[in-house]
A and B are shown apart, each in its own frame.
Chain A
Amino acid sequence: MKFIYQTWWKVLAVVLIFYTLIAGFLIGVPRLPILHETIRNTYFHVPMWIAMFTVFTISVIYSIKYLQTGKEEYDLLAVECANTGLFFFVIGLVTGMLWAKYAWGAYWSNDPKQNSAAIAFLLYCAYMVLRNSIDEEQKRGKISAIYNIFAFPIMVVLIMVLPRLTDSLHPGNGGNPAFGKLDLDNRMRIVLYPAFIAWSLMSVWIATIRYRIRLIEYKKNSID
C-alpha cells in the first residue's frame, strides 16, 4: 500500500497523457472514409474504458482481499475504485455517443455494444445502491464485496464478449475487427498504447485520492 503515496507513477501518468495530447493531434493517422479525423477519438475514447477496467479490476482484487482478511481498509479501497470506475464509465459512454452521432448517424442506435454497456452501467449502479442501503458495517462490506465479485465478470462478458457474438456497428464486433491490422497502424499504436497506460494510472491516482479521503473520514467516525 506504500505505492499509493509515491509520486513517480503520478508524474509518469501526467507526462504520458501530455504526450498523447500532443502526438494524438499531430502525428498522422490512416485516411479512412466516414471516420476522417474522428479516428483520433480512439486516443481518448478507448483509454477511458481501459481506465475503467483497471480500477474495476483493482476493486475486485480488494473485495476478495476484504473477504479473506476482514480489514475495513480493503473494503473502502474497493468502493472508491468502483466509484472512480463508474466515473470513467460515464465518460466512455458519452464520448462514444458523440462519436457514434458522426460515424453511425445517431447518438444511440440500440447497437449491441451500446445496450450491453448501458446494462453493465446499471449493474454497477446497483452495487452502489446495495452498498448504501445497508447500515451495519461488516454486513455491508461482505455483501457488497460478494456482489462486486459477481458483477465484474458479468460486466466483462456484457462489454467484451456478447457484442462480439452478434452484428454490431462498433469496431471489433460481429467478426469485423475494424480497428485491427488494417486501420490501426503503428503510427496510432505509439500514441494509443501509452494512452492506455497513462489513463489507467490516472484513474488509479484519482481512486487512491478518494480512498485516502475516505480513510480519514472512517478514522474520524470510529473515534467519535
Chain B
Amino acid sequence: MKRSLFLVLTLLLNFVTAFAQPGSDVEMADKLRVSGMIYVVVITVAIVFIGLAVYLFSIDRRLKKIEKDN
C-alpha cells in the first residue's frame, strides 16, 4: 500500500514543469485572484468538501457497527 502510494505520487510529479504564457490578452479572473477574493471561494468549497468527507466517514463507521452486530 505504501509503495503504491509512493508510486502514484512520483508518477504525478512527472507533470510539474515550467511554462511560458501565450495569449495574455485573453480576459481571465486575474483581478479576482490578485485582490485575494478567490481564496474566500476556495475556502468555502474546501469547508463544504471536508464536511461531506467527514459525513461519509461517519456513515462508513456506522455501517461497520451494524455489520458487526449482524
Contact = CB atoms under 8 A, between A and B. Distances in A.
Interface string B10-38: 00100111010111111111000100001
Chain A interface secondary structure, helix, strand, loop or mixed? Answer: helix
Contact of A31 (B5, B24, B60): B24
Interface residues of A, number: 34
B63 to A, nearest CB: 5
A194 B12 contact: yes
Contacts, number: 77
Chain B interface secondary structure, helix, strand, loop or mixed? Answer: helix
A21 B67 CA distance: 33
A17 interface: yes
A197 B9 CA distance: 11
Contacts of A194: 12
A31 B19 contact: no
B28 A37 contact: yes
A186 B53 contact: no
B15 A186 contact: yes
A206 B41 CA distance: 26
A219 B5 CA distance: 35
Interface of A: 5, 8, 10, 12, 14, 17-18, 21-22, 25-26, 28-33, 36-37, 185-187, 189-190, 193-194, 197, 205-206, 209, 212-213, 216, 219
